[in-house]
Structure formats: structure tokens, C-alpha cells
Amino acid sequence: MEAGKLQLDPQEVDLEKLLADSLFMFKEKAMKHRLQMKTAFENLPERIQADERSLKQILYNLLSNAVKFTPDGGQISLRAIKTASFNNGQRRAAVEISVTDSGIGITPEELGRIFKPFEQAETSSSRRYQGTGLGLSLTKHLIELHGGKIWATSGGTGKGSAFHFILPIQSGLLGPKQPSVSHESAPSHDPRLPA
């Protein structure tokens, strides 16, 4: 990641399915810890342009944090809504995705640090939570490669956290529109017709 060698493979992604599948991965863990999982998807486009693997990684990181930092019996919600983002004064269709939890929360000072590599809110040797502190920095990097942005909010210690990110629907990752395949590979005459 540091060397800028992360390779994206942009494609058309069924966003709602990807979100539902991501949440499903945590179903067992949520049941074990009596975590209530909610979803709200509003007005989503059927497909967005994105690197599917990165998008799965982003959701996995945010949801695993929500599950890890929320005590038993809490709530986690995954919301997605169609919105617009502005880049150099240009309006672009986008989606805003939020992972909200009722967990341990984040102090204002910590909010400024957690997206940096190896930063963890509580660094004492008696730390209760496992991890390397790389999840959010990778997540931020992947979102920015898509032309998006991420931010976090929290009511403070014990008051839960929310991570929001915006992804343009047309990330621009696919580059200029390619000529259609049939056109590109058209034989010199239509094979269905006699030569």
C-alpha cells in the first residue's frame, strides 16, 4: 500500500447484494454476542463501478470494528443511500454508506488519529481488543483510490461510533468508455451472410 502498488480491478458491482453479503458474514458472531443488526438501503443504484474485492474489504473492516468494539447486547446498523458528491465544483452521483454502532465510542482526540497506520485508541499493554491498527488506514486508502472519502463521528466514550463513506457511482476507474466488443471484433463481413 505504501509503495502505491495496490492494484484495483474495477467492474460493475451489485451494491445492495454486496452489502447484504457483507453483513451476513457477521451473522453468527452477532448472534453469539446478542448484537442486533439492522439495514436500511434507500434509492440505491443497481450497479456501481468499483473494485469488488476492495469494497468487500472496506465493509469487512468497518463491520468487524463495529462488532469488536460493541459490548454484548448492542446494536449495529448498515445504511446506504444515494447522494451526490462535489469534486472541483462538479456534481457527481454517489452513494453514502454508514456503519453505526452503540459501542465503546471514540474520544475527539482519537477521532483525529484512528485513520493513521498502527493507531489504536487505547495503546496500553493491557489492551482488551486485538488487532494491528491497520484496518482503518487500509480502508481509507481504498476509498480514496475510488475517488471517495471517509469520516467518523462519535458521541464520545461509551456513546457509540459511526463511520460514513462516500463512493462515486461512476468512480472513473474504468477509464474512457471502450468501444463495444461486437464493434471492436467485428469481422470484415457479417458471418451470418454469404461472403
Ligand X SMILES: Nc1ncnc2c1ncn2[C@@H]1O[C@H](COP(=O)(O)OP(=O)(O)OP(=O)(O)O)[C@@H](O)[C@H]1O
Nearer to Mg ion, 65 or 85 (CB): 65
Q: From the list ligand X, Mg ion, none, which binds 168 (C-beta under 5 to 8 Å, kind-based)?
A: none
Work out what residue 74 binds among Mg ion, ligand X, none; the CB cut-off runs from 5 to 8 Å by kind.
none
Joined together, the cell numbers standing for residue 150 give 471517509
d(CA 129, CA 140): 21
> Quick one: 69 or 165, whose CB is closer to ligand X?
69
65 binds Mg ion (CB under 5 A): yes
Which residue's CB is nearer to ligand X, number 85 or number 161? Answer: 161
Segment interacting with Mg ion, rule: CB under 5 A, options 8-16, 28-36, 123-131, 173-181 = 123-131
66 binds, among ligand X, Mg ion, none (CB under 5 to 8 A by kind): ligand X
- How far apart (Å, rounded) are the C-alpha atoms in residues 148 and 167? 5
Q: Return residues touching ligand X (CB under 6 A).
A: 61, 65-66, 69, 101, 103-104, 106, 114, 119-122, 131-137, 161
Which span sits near Mg ion by CB under 5 A: 37-45, 116-124, 129-137, 167-175?
Answer: 129-137
Q: Does 135 bind Mg ion (CB under 5 A)?
A: yes
- Name which of 92, 89, 77, 81 is nearest 148 in CA terms: 92
Nearest-CA neighbor of 75 among 122, 39, 121? 39
User: 87 or 153, CB closer to ligand X?
Assistant: 153
- Find the largest Cα–Cα distance for the chain: 80
What is the rounded CA–CA span in Å between residue 51 and residue 182?
25
161 binds, among ligand X, Mg ion, none (CB under 5 to 8 A by kind): ligand X
**Based on CB atoms, which residue is closest to Mg ion, 13 or 99?**
99
Could you tell me which stretch among 4-12, 74-82, 126-134, 184-192 binds Mg ion (CB under 5 A)? Answer: 126-134
